[in-house]
Amino acid sequence: MLRWLRGLRAAPQIPEAAWQATLAAYPFLAARPPEELQRLRELAARFLQDKEFHGALGFAITDEVALSIAAQAVLPVLHLPGDLAWYDDFVGIVVAPEEVSTPRVAIDEAGVVHEYDEAIIGEARERGPVMLSWPHVQEGGLPADGAILNVVIHEFAHKIDMRDGEVDGCPPLPAGFAGQATRSQARAHWRRTLEPAYDAFREQAIVAERFGGEPPWLDGYAASSLGEFFAVACEAYFVDPRRFAREFGTLAPLFDAFFRPGLDPA
């Protein structure tokens, strides 16, 4: 009963001044069409109602921090059926004042175990919280000389990808997706489209690193796995859709079909 009532409780309105400040700080949000912005604002308010923000290492969560994250996090699910249900496997969002050092263990090809610390600016765990470094969240609003870095969209793209239990660059797809009759055919279609784009990106990144070729548009980190390629590509798709369509001619229609079902291309 209580739960049912809570579900009905309307999310509080985001105050106009705070909303305008968020759009000014993240111009790629402000550039969305007016009807999308209205929906973005409503969804961000519901997101703020559903999620719990925690400051790490003494970081204080302000309205600016929470709203900056909410407004960007809901963009990928804006047109997805079920919208915020894509994020219902977790409640906590941990915000740190800087990048966070986290212990890692890796086993190399010779079977030697390496333990080391990695500095991370964000992390998404399956059925667990999302961690974000605040200065890097803020950088998401300032694409310098065409480079894209948007840690919020990156981590929430991982959340969407991992809904089916795997971080493999393929989110769960419905039957009928892109004209594919079954879910497994949809998945095969997704991989047939994503993998060649990933291979081409990897090759360009390797040639740039080893032989001084022209570096690819997106962060070379995208070359580390299909899951990272998907998350980095999502950053670009949402932050600079026009250039994304030029650079990734095969991925843009695929992403449109998933993120904007039934709508005109971005």
Cα 22 from Cα 3, distance rounded (Å): 31
218 by Cβ neighbours in 10 Å (0-12 / 13-18 / 19+) ranks as: buried
Cα 154 from Cα 28, distance rounded (Å): 15
Specify the residue, 128 or 261, whose C-beta has the smaller distance to Zn ion: 128
Output the smallest distance, CB 114 to Zn ion, in A. 20
Q: Taking CB positions, which residue lies at the least distance from Zn ion?
A: 231
Output the smallest distance, CB 230 to Zn ion, in A. 9
Output the smallest distance, CB 221 to Zn ion, in A. 7
Specify the residue, 162 or 231, whose C-beta has the smaller distance to Zn ion: 231
Cα 266 from Cα 248, distance rounded (Å): 13
Cα 43 from Cα 45, distance rounded (Å): 5
The answer to whether residue 231 forms part of the interface with Zn ion (CB under 5 A) is yes
Output the smallest distance, CB 130 to Zn ion, in A. 11
Specify the residue, 234 or 254, whose C-beta has the smaller distance to Zn ion: 234
Specify the residue, 14 or 226, whose C-beta has the smaller distance to Zn ion: 226
Number of residues that bind Zn ion (CB under 5 A): 2
Residue type, 243: R
Are residues 133 and 96 in contact, defined by beta-carbon separation less than 8 angstroms?
yes
Between helix 183-211 and helix 226-239 the angle, nearest 10°, is 90
Output the smallest distance, CB 168 to Zn ion, in A. 13
Output the smallest distance, CB 224 to Zn ion, in A. 8
Specify the residue, 228 or 256, whose C-beta has the smaller distance to Zn ion: 228
Specify the residue, 63 or 118, whose C-beta has the smaller distance to Zn ion: 118
The answer to whether residue 121 forms part of the interface with Zn ion (CB under 5 A) is no
Residues 201-230 that bind Zn ion (CB under 5 A): 228
The answer to whether residue 148 forms part of the interface with Zn ion (CB under 5 A) is no
Q: Specify the long-range contacts of residues 14-18, CB closer than 8 Å, at least 24 apart.
A: 14/41, 14/44, 14/45, 14/48, 14/67, 18/63, 18/64, 18/67
Cα 246 from Cα 254, distance rounded (Å): 14
Site residues, Zn ion (CB under 5 A): 228, 231
